[in-house]
Amino acid sequence: MTDITEAIRVHAPAVSSRPSSGPWRRAWHILKRDRATLLAAAVFVLIILSTLAAPLYARYVSGTDPFRSNLSARIMVDGKRVKVMQASTEGLGLGVTPIGPTWGPQYLLGADTQGRDVAARLLYGGRNSLLIAASATVICLCLAALVGISAGFFGGWVDKILSRILDILWAFPVYLLAISLSIVLISQGIVIGPIEIGSDSLLLPIFIIGIIYVPYVARPLRGRVLSLKQSEFVLAARGLGIPAWRILLHDILPNVSTMLIVFVPLMMGLNIITESSLSFLSIGVQAPDASWGTIIQDGQTLLYTRPVVALAPGIAIVLTVLSLNVLGDSLRDALDPRTKLV
């Protein structure tokens, strides 16, 4: 080695001695120090755990079947036996009003118009809402990744055809598309050969919500792949004679994956809202099954007398979506290589 190289080595700025960390580990280091992220993660995990515990709550705490009408049931509140559906005292005194929040084990948040335990339904409904949103997110991101990355990477005719399909989906306002798909599918169900999906199946809202946002994810993915394809490091790889599939695997996919990951919590939040909206309009989860959307709909007629029926699922939605959005934002910052380690 000549003097020049020796001199260079001496003068070259020393790279810090901390062990080399990959982008994922780096992101983890940033995330676990961020309080807002930790709080959001805690809230989200808490919500998931409590909805998972729904059957336990229904059986051992509330002791009612949250999917059956309970109009004549009587429960113990403060040592007194009271009716779940109480005679109305307000207005003309006609009809019955469901019991309000008891703040006890049974009917913690009161009853709905069918005399069902709102607290138990809230947990079961949360299960459906989260399950549908999560499955739809998986479907949406898989489809979008497939379409967006192939369109961007292969270009030419593949890109033209895929982009036009996305354009067609894009041309519909999201909710219009969701509502029309739901109305058609829920009134008829789907029969594909031997597989028959009934109109009350959760697969329908999962499928519908999974489809409608595909263009919104595929488009930016395609754009990212296109810009990566033009990037100097891909050009350099091509110049080194590295085959296209290796470039896709090592240079394109790892740089797209972070973008895809950031979409997970954001799409999940969006899907929860979409699912609730559709269910609220009776074209999502079908009765007697529950979701946060259907509970809000149940609470609509009780808005003046028993606002908690609609408020409780509303608050649940806000908390979940908020925590997911915070997680999404932190994830985006943490995966951005420009973010400095503290």
Binding stretches for other proteins (CB under 8 A): 1-2, 4-5, 7-9, 11-13, 15-16, 20-23, 231-233, 235-244, 246, 250-251, 254-255, 337
Cβ 81 vs Cβ 74: under 8 Å = yes
Shortest distance in whole angstroms from residue 15 CB to other proteins: 6
* Neighbour-count burial for 112-129, b at 16+ CB within 10 Å, e otherwise: bbbbbbbbbbbbbbbbbb
Q: Which residue has the tokens 């009716």?
A: 83
Cβ-based nearer residue to other proteins, 83 or 238: 238
The residues near 117 (Cβ < 8 Å, ≥ 6 apart) are: 58, 62, 64, 66, 70, 106, 107, 108, 109, 111
Shortest distance in whole angstroms from residue 154 CB to other proteins: 14
Cβ-based nearer residue to other proteins, 93 or 337: 337
Shortest distance in whole angstroms from residue 341 CB to other proteins: 11
Nearest-angstrom CA–CA distance, 177 and 78: 50
Cβ-based nearer residue to other proteins, 76 or 235: 235
Shortest distance in whole angstroms from residue 200 CB to other proteins: 45
Shortest distance in whole angstroms from residue 19 CB to other proteins: 9
Cβ-based nearer residue to other proteins, 201 or 258: 258
Cβ-based nearer residue to other proteins, 171 or 240: 240
Nearest-angstrom CA–CA distance, 157 and 37: 43
